Amino acid sequence: MRTLSRSVISLSALALASAGMVVGAGTASAALTTYCDGDAADVTVPGDLVVAKGDSCDLDGVTVDGEVRVQAGADLLLTDSSIGGRVVVNPDGYVDATGTEVAGNLISKGSYGVYLDESSIGGAFSERAVEGADPFLYSYDSSIAGKVTVEQGLVHLQTVTIGGAVSSDNATYTDIIDSTLARGLTVSANAEGTSVCGSEVDGAAAFTGNAGVQLGTGGGIIDCDDANYFGSDVTVSDTTAGVDVSTNIIRGALTGEGNDPAPTGADNRVRGEVGGQFTDLSPAMQKARAFAAAEDAETHAEELDSQREERRAAAEKKAEDAGPANLR
């Protein structure tokens, strides 16, 4: 068998590197890694994609066969694209996806934020706590097949379908609007509270130690006109800035203790036990006072729109200045 000389192998590796790709360690069949800085459209990346620290990558109609890594301070803008593996976003990195499919998990490690619009995540979403970070998960008309686990930041989900359990712990706030959660929901220690409006939660829902909780139409966190459906027990405990539970269909129990002020609510249909502070609820007489510290979900969306537009505009400009990414 003829073998290549060491010099020929070195030249081959150099040629790949000059095309923006590097050969992974190990066997000759190891996947290629492509580095992206600039913009590209209508191409396929055969292996993994990396957006290096501080770079910006703007992709339209691009297929990445492998996974994507967005390094610290980098930006990845995706339009009508698909990722064959997971996406990992490092501190102060940003992912903005419209009409895009991610086959694997999306992992945020103290990122600037993740924006999803008419996009799908085939795996789970996780926001891992990183000291000093204040990331956001801002999603419209999208789906996440697996779990959603948030350990910090801002969460606004509107017309979103989620297949796994949802947990938001130590976030600033959690808004769930016109959305469908196939399993349970846990929201705890949200500094500005949580609201669920016009949504379906098929598993048990537990809200513990939040600044405020609004489930349904009656509270002061959000202007909500639509009922919620809860497929199992609902527990609300230790809330510090008002609780209102109104116009909900609850197939399990409605219970909770330690809420100060005491909960208010009306027009609920509860199939199970109603206990604790939720026995004989009365409608709120002064909603604004009960939720005085909370901003509504519409204000949250406006603020997140501003954050997104600012970062996206800067990322687009940086990618434009970098020129074609030459991913071919």
* Site of tokens 């109609």: 61
Residue 207 confidence (pLDDT): 98
What the block records as the tokens of 145 is 């097949």
CB 268 within 8 A of CB 246: yes
CB 195 within 8 A of CB 221: yes
Residue 1 confidence (pLDDT): 36
Other CB atoms within 10 A of residue 6 CB: 8
Backbone angles phi, psi at 303, to 5 degrees: -65, -40
Residue 298 confidence (pLDDT): 77
> H helices of the chain, where?
6-18, 287-290, 297-322
Residue 12 confidence (pLDDT): 34
Residue 295 confidence (pLDDT): 60
Residue 6 confidence (pLDDT): 31
Residue 108 confidence (pLDDT): 98
pTM of the model: 0.88
Residue 187 confidence (pLDDT): 98
Residue 10 confidence (pLDDT): 32
Q: Reduce the DSSP state of residue 103 to 3 states and report it.
A: coil
Q: Which residues of the chain have pLDDT under 50?
A: 1-30, 287-293
320: Cα separation from own chain's centroid: 27
Residue 60 confidence (pLDDT): 98
Residue 9 confidence (pLDDT): 31
Residue 221 confidence (pLDDT): 75
Residue count of the chain, please give it.
328
CB 75 within 8 A of CB 308: no
**Do strands 21-23 and 32-35 pair parallel, antiparallel, or not at all (unpaired)?**
antiparallel
Residue 284 confidence (pLDDT): 78
CB 148 within 8 A of CB 179: no
